[in-house]
Amino acid sequence: MSNSDKRELIIFDGDPSHNWPEFFEGYFLPDGSSIVVTQCSFVESRVTNYSDGSCMVFTRPIYQTGKKPKESDRVTVKPDFVLIRNQSRGATPELDARRVLFGLMAAKVPSINSLESVYRCLERPIMYAGLRRVVQKYGKDKFPLIDQSFYSHPKEMVVSDQFPVAIKVSHVHAGMGKVLAENIDEFRDVASILLLNNQYCTCEPFVKSDYSVRVQKIGNHYRVIKKFLTGSSWKTHFGGSVLSVGELTPEYKFWADACSEEFSDLDLFAIDVLHGIDGKYYIIELNDSAIGFLREVWNHDTELVRDLVLQKMAALFCNLDSNNNNNNSNNNNNSINNNDSNNTINLNSSNNLNNKQNTHFQIVEVVKSFEKPIQYEPIVSNSQIAFIATTAFALTCAFVKISSIYTK
């Protein structure tokens, strides 16, 4: 199989428990092109763009189609498409790999989500600005976005209009960089600490909640995940919690659809919502394609992402409309009932295999091709090597004999 019959897909997911090449095994594009998957992390990658528009990614693969990479392996990939499943910027400076994202953006590499949306969602104020546009369009009654104040410098943190408040420092997620201030004294104490760092912060009214909701959208598929706190911490990431799949209500669906309309380049995202003890909902943030999936349905949701990638790649490289390539199982996703029994794909089922053969993405026997290794001519012949070895041995013996004479 020639290089023209292959499409290179890079998946940025640094979790070794996620084996993405397995999910793409046996899938081809409608034009017969195979898909070579390279799974890697942002921090282990470097990008180079050239004047002809080509883009090369030099990385350490975690998994790769048809290979079992070693920890020391390095590969060079010219990506045709990218799937982002990790954030390019972590909590600490050594985990900041935005330069990789910038390189991909400069080369205009197609991706899920769009690289522009990935960059936009890295910073909380920019993401919040987009959510405010949704409020301006539909009103806060239909889209209950939480209030938020922004401080570019802690010297401006003189007073807050209400307490308690949740102070969120800079870009970090997953409960990091967040402090609860109960009163003005604690508020100013936090400001004095922030003076040691050149970071912005946002402040939101602290909502006492009985549970939170995540409304997840993958293409045309919706999923609702409810989280109930069981620990003593006000942060769900550092306290105990119970997760369960919930019902997709018209209200939840509207919120997700409104975000899809505002952020048209988001194919994979989730919005996080608090349900206060006052009975009101508070939308607190939007998360892009780096969202985590519920463990119980991880395989199913990963298959949905895989199908979405196949649809996008077919539209780009095979002139097919990705909107017409949705699986029939997704036709029920526009209904209010969030029932996965109609959407689950069992790859071991012969019926499902037959159904897939009627689509553009046929499951066929995987063809593995290996490039012939380059043969290098030796610089020195075998006879020359033997002569050099003999001469070196003779010189060594002579040196030892001379040394023994002078010693005596």
DSSP string, 137-165: HH-TTTS-BPP-EEESSGGG-S--SSSSE
Return d(Cα 267, Cα 269) in angstroms, integer.
7
Task: Report the pLDDT value the prediction gives residue 68, as an integer from 0 to 100.
Answer: 83
Q: Is the sign of the CA dihedral 292, 298, 301, 303 positive or negative?
A: positive
Edge-first strand order for the sheet with 6-12 is: 63-64, 34-40, 6-12, 81-84, 111-112
Please indicate, yes or no, whether the overall pTM of this predicted structure exceeds 0.85.
no
408 residues of the chain, pLDDT tens digit each: 445 589 999 999 999 999 999 999 999 999 999 999 999 999 999 999 998 888 999 999 999 998 888 877 899 999 999 999 998 988 788 889 999 999 999 999 999 999 999 999 899 999 999 999 999 999 999 999 999 999 999 889 888 888 999 999 887 776 678 889 999 999 999 999 888 887 889 999 999 999 999 999 999 999 999 998 776 666 665 556 788 999 999 999 999 999 999 988 899 999 999 999 999 999 999 999 999 999 999 999 999 999 999 999 999 999 876 555 444 444 444 433 454 433 333 333 333 333 343 333 433 333 233 233 333 334 444 455 555 556 666 666 555 555 555 444
- CB contact set of 64 (below 8 Å; sequence gap of 6+): 21, 36, 37, 38, 39, 75
Task: Report the pLDDT value the prediction gives residue 234, as an integer from 0 to 100.
Answer: 67
Cα end-to-end distance, the chain, whole Å: 73
Q: Is 212 helix (H, G, I), strand (E, B) or coil?
A: strand
Task: Report the pLDDT value the prediction gives residue 53, as an integer from 0 to 100.
Answer: 82
Cα angle: 151, vertex 117, 202; to 5 degrees: 15
Task: Report the pLDDT value the prediction gives residue 89, as an integer from 0 to 100.
Answer: 86
Contact 250, 194 (CB under 8 A): no
Return d(Cα 331, Cα 56) in angstroms, integer.
38
